[in-house]
Structure 1
Amino acid sequence: MPDHGVLSCFESRGTAENVNELLRLFSDNQIKPHIGQRYPLVGAAEVLTHLSESSTLGKIVVTTN
């Protein structure tokens, strides 16, 4: 698993501002997340296996249908 300890070095106010800006850009359709793979909810175990065994490019989406 990656070490996310470095995140504690960032100022939380600046991070919140960055998140707010990303949400605004997303809401305005100026950015679109890359979806790498989609899995059905019944395949949740496969998702966890995939995450633990390989590097993932883009977001993984778990669908309910």
Structure 2
Amino acid sequence: MGLGDKIANKAEELGGKAKEAVGNATDDDRLAAEGQKEQAAAKAKQAGEHVKDAAKDVFGDKR
């Protein structure tokens, strides 16, 4: 994945954090849960990127 994907995933995570914070501040459990879900999805994507990057380091980019 490229740098643009990494930035987009981090932005998604930060958006989820903001959504969760607003949900908590306004006692909106649905919004807070949605923010947590977005954060988890973004972190899963980031973990996948780290695995791909590690594989490239070990095996090289042989596409």
Q: TM-score, normalised by structure 1?
A: 0.32
More helix by share: 2
Specify which structure has the higher proportion of strand: 1
> Normalised by the size of structure 2, how large is the TM-score?
0.33
